[in-house]
Amino acid sequence: MSYEGKMLKDLKMPSRREIEAALLKSLFWHNGVIKEFGSGEEIVDELADDFNLNGEQRTAQLETIYRKENRLKKSSLWHRLLFRAADSLAKEKLIIRPTQTFELTNKREWMLSETGFNKALHLLKIPRELKYSLSTKSYEVQKVVKKLKESPRPENYNPFHSEKKLVKVTKETSLRARGFRQAVIEAYDFQCAVCKMKLNSPDFILWEAEAAHIVPHNALGKDDIWNGISLCRLHHWAFDVGWFTLLADYSIMISTRFNSLPSDFGKMGNYDFIRELANNNSKIYLPNTGKMFPHPNSLRWHRNNIFFKE
């Protein structure tokens, strides 16, 4: 038995497969990305905690002698095991190496691939159908997000697909839809553009904010950032059914039909949802950069086709 093998056996260290599974689950709970396994990184101790490693297991050092230089080099056994497990997952195309993610995000991190995302969901017994709602990143979706955010803003934007297509959910359309959602809610800092509500689930994997289409899919609306706006569920519904719209200067306009509502409609306790919008007469919260603002052509279509003027 090799020196390292004996050390692993004597210390009763977890197997590579066990560490691989823990890494995939940890990536999921960390929004799809974790930092490299450098000294002092929280992820190193966090994974050690998952396995209930004792002090000796955490601090064990491998010793290597460089004979030509007559020098002894020591390296962390636990760090080595983490890196080997990550390297193995990368070879299986379940995660993406920091060198590749750096080219995409300018951050040196391990990132889930779509295949790794599916594997993590399987390990955690989470239905794959929930992927669209999750904030967890994958390398393929991040490529879509980057393209959406970096595309030059057209002056005369056409928010419609040129021709009607068959409704068929393919891998490409699924990635595009998830990329649209992520790009939009990130642009608005994960909050509603109207009420500024910002809230995630207790496990941090779901955001309350939704990416609303201004020109909806059923009207052949595109999954472009200029055809999207981040809204909480209540304001998303109110926008989709025409209770309010946005003017060219991004101020809120309320349908005058609210005047005919019974007095107890649209209330949550003492908060009058509809009338508060009408009295507010304010502009929505917008992204930091103008190139990601909703396009006037999309808003004009919503005012003319969804909004109830009378």
Distance of CA 131 to the CA centre of its chain: 10
Whether 204 shows a pLDDT value over 90: the answer reads no
141 shares its domain with 174: no
Mean pLDDT along residues 275-289: 84
pLDDT confidence of residue 6:
86
DSSP helix/strand/coil, 231: strand
Handedness of CA 167, 168, 174, 175 (dihedral sign): negative
Return the higher-pLDDT residue of 205 and 191. Answer: 191
- 11 lies in the same domain as 140: yes
Q: Based on the fold, state whether residues 187 and 123 are members of the same structural domain.
A: no
**155 found inside a domain:** no
Q: Tens digits of per-residue pLDDT, 72-89?
A: 677 889 999 999 999 999
pLDDT value at residue 148: 96
Say yes or no: 35 and 122 in one domain.
Answer: yes
296 and 174 fall within a common domain: yes
pLDDT at 167 over 60: no
211 and 121 in a single domain? The answer is no
Cβ-proximal residues to 261 (8 Å cutoff; 6+ apart), any chain: 274
pLDDT at 169 over 60: no
Alpha helix (H) ranges present in the chain? 3-11, 16-29, 42-50, 55-59, 77-91, 98-105, 114-124, 139-150, 171-187, 233-241, 273-280, 296-305
pLDDT band of residue 281 (cuts 50, 70, 90) is low
Boundary (domain end) residue, out of 145, 179, 194:
145
Are 115 and 208 in a shared domain? Answer: no
Residues 185 and 271 in one domain: yes
Question: What is the predicted pLDDT for the residue at 62?
Answer: 84
The domain total for the chain is: 2
**pLDDT tens digit string along 218-259?**
999 999 999 999 999 999 999 999 999 999 999 999 998 888
pLDDT-derived band at 216, boundaries 50, 70, 90: very high
154 within domain boundaries? no
Average pLDDT of the residues of the chain: 91
Residue 162 lies in a domain: no
Look up tokens 């599916």; give the residue: 118
pLDDT band at residue 266 using 50, 70 and 90 as cut-offs: confident
Residue 44 counted as domain residue: yes
pTM above 0.85, yes or no: yes
- 197 and 282 assigned to the same domain: yes
For the residues 176-195, what does the mean pLDDT come to? 95
pLDDT band with cut points at 50, 70 and 90 for residue 173: confident
Domain that holds residue 258: 168-305
Cα 304 to the center of its chain, rounded Å = 32
pLDDT digits (tens, 9 = 90+) for 42-71: 999 999 999 999 999 999 988 765 555 666
In a domain, 157, yes or no: no
Structure confidence at residue 164 (pLDDT) = 58
